[in-house]
Amino acid sequence: MTAATYAGPIVVTAAYFGLWYYLLLGLQRGTKYALRDEYAERGEEFDRYHGQDGRMLAADRAVMNTLEQMGPFLTSLWLHAVFVSVDTATVLGGVYVALRSIYPLLLGKRLSKTQSKRVFAVTGPAYLIVFYLLGSTVAAALGVG
Protein backbone atom coordinates (compact mmCIF):
# COMPACT_ATOMS: atom_id res chain seq x y z
CA MET A 1 0.00 0.00 0.00
CA THR A 2 1.10 3.55 -0.68
CA ALA A 3 0.59 6.79 1.21
CA ALA A 4 -2.16 7.61 -1.29
CA THR A 5 -4.16 4.69 0.11
CA TYR A 6 -4.32 6.55 3.41
CA ALA A 7 -4.71 10.06 1.99
CA GLY A 8 -7.96 10.66 3.89
CA PRO A 9 -6.67 9.75 7.36
CA ILE A 10 -3.43 11.61 6.62
CA VAL A 11 -5.39 14.79 5.82
CA VAL A 12 -7.57 14.31 8.93
CA THR A 13 -4.47 13.88 11.10
CA ALA A 14 -2.82 16.96 9.56
CA ALA A 15 -6.02 18.98 10.07
CA TYR A 16 -6.23 17.90 13.71
CA PHE A 17 -2.66 18.97 14.40
CA GLY A 18 -2.42 21.96 12.09
CA LEU A 19 -5.83 23.48 12.40
CA TRP A 20 -6.80 22.82 15.96
CA TYR A 21 -3.95 21.71 18.14
CA TYR A 22 -1.40 24.29 16.97
CA LEU A 23 -4.05 26.95 16.44
CA LEU A 24 -5.15 26.46 20.04
CA LEU A 25 -1.54 26.63 21.25
CA GLY A 26 -1.29 29.98 19.45
CA LEU A 27 -4.53 31.13 21.10
CA GLN A 28 -3.18 30.08 24.49
CA ARG A 29 0.09 31.93 23.92
CA GLY A 30 -1.69 35.04 22.62
CA THR A 31 -4.03 35.04 25.61
CA LYS A 32 -1.08 34.80 28.00
CA TYR A 33 0.71 37.80 26.47
CA ALA A 34 -2.46 39.89 26.16
CA LEU A 35 -3.29 39.27 29.81
CA ARG A 36 0.27 39.99 30.90
CA ASP A 37 0.07 43.37 29.15
CA GLU A 38 -3.42 44.16 30.52
CA TYR A 39 -2.36 43.35 34.07
CA ALA A 40 0.81 45.45 33.68
CA GLU A 41 -1.24 48.44 32.48
CA ARG A 42 -3.32 48.18 35.67
CA GLY A 43 -0.18 47.87 37.79
CA GLU A 44 -1.01 44.28 38.72
CA GLU A 45 1.08 41.16 38.39
CA PHE A 46 -0.21 38.46 36.08
CA ASP A 47 0.32 35.04 37.65
CA ARG A 48 0.23 32.64 34.71
CA TYR A 49 0.17 29.42 36.66
CA HIS A 50 -1.60 30.25 39.91
CA GLY A 51 -3.94 32.99 38.80
CA GLN A 52 -7.62 32.42 38.20
CA ASP A 53 -8.21 34.66 35.20
CA GLY A 54 -11.14 33.14 33.33
CA ARG A 55 -9.69 33.90 29.90
CA MET A 56 -6.44 32.09 30.67
CA LEU A 57 -8.33 29.17 32.21
CA ALA A 58 -10.50 28.85 29.07
CA ALA A 59 -7.48 28.92 26.74
CA ASP A 60 -5.69 26.34 28.89
CA ARG A 61 -8.77 24.10 29.06
CA ALA A 62 -9.21 24.15 25.27
CA VAL A 63 -5.58 23.10 24.75
CA MET A 64 -5.60 20.45 27.48
CA ASN A 65 -8.86 18.90 26.36
CA THR A 66 -7.58 18.66 22.80
CA LEU A 67 -4.36 17.10 24.06
CA GLU A 68 -6.24 14.68 26.35
CA GLN A 69 -8.39 13.45 23.48
CA MET A 70 -5.56 13.25 20.93
CA GLY A 71 -4.33 9.77 21.91
CA PRO A 72 -7.69 7.98 21.83
CA PHE A 73 -8.76 9.75 18.64
CA LEU A 74 -5.62 9.20 16.58
CA THR A 75 -5.22 5.61 17.78
CA SER A 76 -8.80 4.69 16.90
CA LEU A 77 -8.66 6.59 13.59
CA TRP A 78 -5.55 4.80 12.38
CA LEU A 79 -6.45 1.34 13.64
CA HIS A 80 -9.79 1.63 11.86
CA ALA A 81 -8.20 2.97 8.68
CA VAL A 82 -5.61 0.19 8.52
CA PHE A 83 -7.75 -2.76 9.56
CA VAL A 84 -11.37 -1.90 8.72
CA SER A 85 -12.13 0.98 6.35
CA VAL A 86 -10.11 3.96 5.15
CA ASP A 87 -13.27 5.67 3.91
CA THR A 88 -15.17 5.33 7.19
CA ALA A 89 -12.14 6.45 9.18
CA THR A 90 -11.79 9.49 6.91
CA VAL A 91 -15.44 10.55 7.16
CA LEU A 92 -15.74 10.02 10.91
CA GLY A 93 -12.31 11.55 11.47
CA GLY A 94 -13.37 14.63 9.52
CA VAL A 95 -16.54 14.91 11.59
CA TYR A 96 -14.46 14.55 14.75
CA VAL A 97 -12.09 17.36 13.72
CA ALA A 98 -15.07 19.57 12.84
CA LEU A 99 -16.61 18.87 16.25
CA ARG A 100 -13.34 19.69 17.99
CA SER A 101 -13.30 23.04 16.22
CA ILE A 102 -16.54 23.96 17.98
CA TYR A 103 -15.24 23.06 21.47
CA PRO A 104 -13.53 26.42 22.22
CA LEU A 105 -16.62 28.31 21.09
CA LEU A 106 -18.90 26.30 23.37
CA LEU A 107 -16.42 26.56 26.23
CA GLY A 108 -16.53 30.34 25.98
CA LYS A 109 -13.91 33.05 26.34
CA ARG A 110 -13.94 32.86 30.12
CA LEU A 111 -13.98 29.77 32.26
CA SER A 112 -15.54 29.83 35.68
CA LYS A 113 -14.93 27.32 38.43
CA THR A 114 -17.30 24.92 36.69
CA GLN A 115 -16.93 23.89 33.09
CA SER A 116 -19.78 24.76 30.79
CA LYS A 117 -22.22 21.91 30.13
CA ARG A 118 -22.50 23.19 26.55
CA VAL A 119 -19.25 21.40 25.68
CA PHE A 120 -21.08 18.07 25.91
CA ALA A 121 -22.57 18.91 22.49
CA VAL A 122 -19.03 18.30 21.19
CA THR A 123 -17.60 15.79 23.64
CA GLY A 124 -20.56 13.40 23.55
CA PRO A 125 -20.54 12.84 19.76
CA ALA A 126 -16.70 12.86 19.73
CA TYR A 127 -16.63 10.04 22.31
CA LEU A 128 -19.15 8.08 20.23
CA ILE A 129 -16.94 8.42 17.15
CA VAL A 130 -13.88 7.17 19.04
CA PHE A 131 -15.86 4.28 20.55
CA TYR A 132 -17.25 3.32 17.14
CA LEU A 133 -13.87 3.45 15.40
CA LEU A 134 -12.15 1.47 18.12
CA GLY A 135 -15.03 -0.90 18.81
CA SER A 136 -15.52 -1.85 15.19
CA THR A 137 -11.78 -2.44 14.83
CA VAL A 138 -11.77 -4.76 17.84
CA ALA A 139 -14.87 -6.53 16.48
CA ALA A 140 -13.14 -7.03 13.11
CA ALA A 141 -10.03 -8.39 14.83
CA LEU A 142 -12.14 -10.87 16.80
CA GLY A 143 -14.19 -11.81 13.73
CA VAL A 144 -17.40 -10.54 15.34
CA GLY A 145 -20.05 -8.78 13.28
Q: Name the residue ranges covered by the structural domains of the chain.
A: 21-140
Distance CA 120, CA 131 (A): 16
Q: Model confidence at 94, in pLDDT bands (50, 70, 90)? A: very high
Decide: 24 and 62 in contact? Cβ < 8 Å.
yes
Q: Model confidence at 145, in pLDDT bands (50, 70, 90)? A: low
**How many CB atoms neighbour CB 10 within 10 A?**
15
Percent pLDDT > 90 in the chain is 57
Per the model's pLDDT, the better-predicted residue between 115 and 134 turns out to be: 134
Indicate if the pLDDT at residue 29 is higher than 70.
Answer: yes
Indicate if the pLDDT at residue 113 is higher than 70.
Answer: no
pTM above 0.85? yes
CATH topology for the 21-140 domain: Four Helix Bundle (Hemerythrin (Met), subunit A) (1.20.120)
Distance CA 74, CA 85 (A): 15
Classify each residue of 12-22 as buried b or exposed e, where b means 16 or more C-beta atoms within 10 Å of its C-beta.
bbebbeeebbe
**How many CB atoms neighbour CB 139 within 10 A?**
12
